[in-house]
Amino acid sequence: MPNVVKIHLIAAARPNFMKVAPLYHALAEQSWCELKLVHTGQHYDANMSDSFFRDLQLPDPDFHLGVGGGTHAEQTAGVMVEYERVCLENRPDWVVVVGDVNSTLACTLAASKLAIKIVHLEAGLRSFDNSMPEEINRIVTDSLADLLWTPSPDGDENLLKSGVAPGKIDRIGNIMIDSFELVRPKIERANVPEILGVKDKRYAVVTLHRPSNVDRAPTLQKIVDEMIAIAASGLALVFPLHPRTRKSIEQLGVLEQLSKSDGIYLLEPLSYVEFMSIVLGCRLVITDSGGIQEETTYLGIPCLTLRENTERPITISEGTNLLIGPDELGTKIDEIMQKEFEPGRIEFWDGKTAQRAVESLYNHACLRTA
């Protein structure tokens, strides 16, 4: 066993900061490891990155790769080149990658070619839809990882079916719940709905950024038309715009129409605390995000997901999630508002996932290699 286990924890893009933060705090307290935080720079705006670091009490990263946007190949290759350089100068024993973004794949590839051990947090999720770049990132990351941390039993099953040895899989639960519980008091105090002037449970939160929804003009136009109709019928819509979505809406020429529609609140991307504050007060969520399907399940808030599939089926079978097409928005809102949901009680979605992750890594890094 090495004296001290050197660990790199990779942060990259908005959905990953919520997965990294609880683990960062838990690992930083351990005497058996030396922890370095690496930010690839995939997301770089103040409101897509910095505000999350602040809300989640993350320190400045030890290494910032500053890679930024680009095509998939450019972004992935950029992170690989920069992260390999970091590893050659400051070689870790283990690298922790989280989620399914391009940086997750890139760091996995760079590290595995240097024979550095990899642990994947949020392993085993599958949409079985290879047209999603995230699915490709998940498959490759899971096939190279030495230790796979799953959030739910479907993750274990997917990994076992794809031939991963059972000894490499540890079900530790959903770390996003740890982040929520870590910051819950601030979220409850933030009162963002009141500041916006929307009434409790009388509005829906909308988030969209998937290419399948926002990059094709006819689909985006359909969603915009449905949104205007929903707001006109009395359910206000609070819609923080992802940079990709803002660009698409501008290109479609409907930004002004949307921003002038009664009952539609177009916002810049929100910080984590602000966003969870509007989610806590809303009647339902309309989204194409992955993580929000889980957060709404945990909170018992109805969620309409504008996608044909989900890598998080447990949010449908045991949670509040319903998959819908763009032309079903109006009808499915009525259907889901009839239902009452209990806050989810999925095993290990309990705010203690980071603790289980630390135990698992200690076992694999310190005990098994002794």
Nearer to ligand UD1 among residue 6 and residue 244 (C-beta):
244
Q: Is residue 15 within the footprint of ligand UD1 (CB under 6 A)?
A: yes
Question: What is the per-residue binding string for ligand UD1 in 189-228, x denoting contact by CB under 6 A?
Answer: --------------------x-------------------
Q: Is residue 101 within the footprint of ligand UD1 (CB under 6 A)?
A: yes
Count of chain residues binding ligand UD1 (CB under 6 A): 19
- Token look-up 């590839």 returns 109
Q: Is residue 8 within the footprint of ligand UD1 (CB under 6 A)?
A: no
Q: Is residue 288 within the footprint of ligand UD1 (CB under 6 A)?
A: no
For residue 204, the one-letter residue type is: A
Q: Is residue 129 within the footprint of ligand UD1 (CB under 6 A)?
A: no
How many C-alpha atoms does 48 have within 13 Å on its Cβ side?
16
C-beta of 62: minimal distance to ligand UD1 in Å? 20
Q: Is residue 108 within the footprint of ligand UD1 (CB under 6 A)?
A: no
CA angle 307, 308, 310 (to 5 degrees): 75
Assess whether 209 carries a catalytic annotation.
yes
C-beta of 209: minimal distance to ligand UD1 in Å? 5
Residue numbers 317-346 binding ligand UD1 by CB under 6 A: none
C-beta of 214: minimal distance to ligand UD1 in Å? 9
Task: Pick from 19, 43, 171, 356 the residue near ligand UD1 by CB under 6 A.
Answer: 43
Q: Is residue 41 within the footprint of ligand UD1 (CB under 6 A)?
A: no
Task: Pick from 243, 267, 300, 352 the residue near ligand UD1 by CB under 6 A.
Answer: 243
Task: Pick from 32, 244, 309, 318 the residue near ligand UD1 by CB under 6 A.
Answer: 244
Nearer to ligand UD1 among residue 49 and residue 315 (C-beta):
49
Q: Is residue 48 within the footprint of ligand UD1 (CB under 6 A)?
A: yes
Q: Is residue 134 within the footprint of ligand UD1 (CB under 6 A)?
A: yes
Q: Segment near ligand UD1 (CB under 6 A), from 54-62, 85-93, 95-103, 158-166?
A: 95-103
C-beta of 144: minimal distance to ligand UD1 in Å? 17
| Under 8 Å between Cβ of 179 and 22 | yes
Catalytic annotation, pick one of 8, 43, 120, 209: 209
C-beta of 338: minimal distance to ligand UD1 in Å? 30
List the one residue out of 184, 175, 170 whose CA is nearest residue 25: 175
CA angle 290, 18, 48 (to 5 degrees): 85
C-beta of 195: minimal distance to ligand UD1 in Å? 24
Nearer to ligand UD1 among residue 51 and residue 150 (C-beta):
51
The residues carrying an active-site annotation are: 209
